[in-house]
Chain A
Amino acid sequence: MNLAEILDTLNASVLTDKVTLQKSVENAYCADLMSDVLSFSTTKSILVTGLTNAQVIRTAEMAAIEMIVFVQGKRPDSQTIRLAEEKQIPLLVTDLSMFEACGKLYERGLRSKLHRHNQTPTIKCQAKSH
């Protein structure tokens, strides 16, 4: 699903300037807790969230998420928008609730592909107290 179709589906607008809108996604995730995004998301994704702080942009950057849509008309501050522009991550905003936004994107065929890490790393733990 491309960005133009997402804008249309959610009646959303673009908050970032100078970021390419020629992007499309295959997967969608919805969360307010960023560790969960880092844990389960895959690439070629859109993140639907109600959080608007800079850590959301950082999370998208680290997890290589293509675009973010903020729900309930929530807008991040200008510094956060600038960070997204710097990282070339389009930010969208919709007045829809998170529930409705997810429902409409699901209806249009987006799904979450859950990332399962296939490594079984060894862990060495040591806790000392004195």
Chain B
Amino acid sequence: MNLQEIVNGLSLEVKTPSLSIDRDVTGGYVSDLLSDVMGNAAEGSVWVTLQIHLNIVAVASLKGLSGIILVNNRIPDTDTLKRAVEEDIPIMTSPLSTFELVGRLYALGLRCR
């Protein structure tokens, strides 16, 4: 699946407009614990979280994730966005809850095994 399709399908707001969202998403991962993502998220996954801490970008970059979706209208600060652009990690936001956002990604066909 393409990140562009996900952004369109779920009406996500792209917070890193300078980065291309024409990239492949191979699965989904949801967690608010950085250690869990470090240990378990598969490369190419899009990560759903409400953590806006700067370190989310480093984790996504180290794990080769395809992007980060922040839920519950959580807005990342400028430092986080700056780092995201440097590390080429697109960040999107949504007013949906974590549960509903993941539900819709699942309905689009994204999986996490």
Q: Chain A interface (Cβ within 8 Å of chain B)? A: 28-33, 36, 40, 48, 50-51, 72, 97-100, 102-107, 110-112, 114
Contact = CB atoms under 8 A, between A and B. Distances in A.
B33 A51 contact: yes
Interface in B24-73: 27-33, 36, 40, 48, 50-51, 72
A40 B32 contact: no
Interface string B71-113: 0100000000000000000000000111110111111001111
A40 B72 contact: yes
Interface of B: 27-33, 36, 40, 48, 50-51, 72, 96-100, 102-107, 110-113
A32 B29 contact: no
The interface residues of chain B, by DSSP majority, are classed as: mixed
Contacts of A114: 72, 97
A40 B33 CA distance: 18
Given A28-B99, A111-B100, A72 B106 contact: no
27 contacts: A28-B99, A29-B99, A30-B97, A30-B99, A32-B36, A33-B32, A33-B51, A36-B50, A50-B36, A97-B30, A97-B40, A97-B113, A98-B31, A98-B112, A99-B27, A99-B102, A100-B113, A102-B99, A102-B102, A103-B103, A105-B99, A105-B103, A106-B104, A106-B106, A107-B103, A112-B99, A112-B100
Contacts of A33: 32, 50-51
A40 B112 contact: no
The interface residues of chain A, by DSSP majority, are classed as: mixed
Contacts of A30: 30, 97-99, 102
B107 A31 contact: no
A97 B105 CA distance: 14
A106 B36 CA distance: 23
B98 A102 contact: yes
B103 A102 contact: yes
A40 B29 contact: no
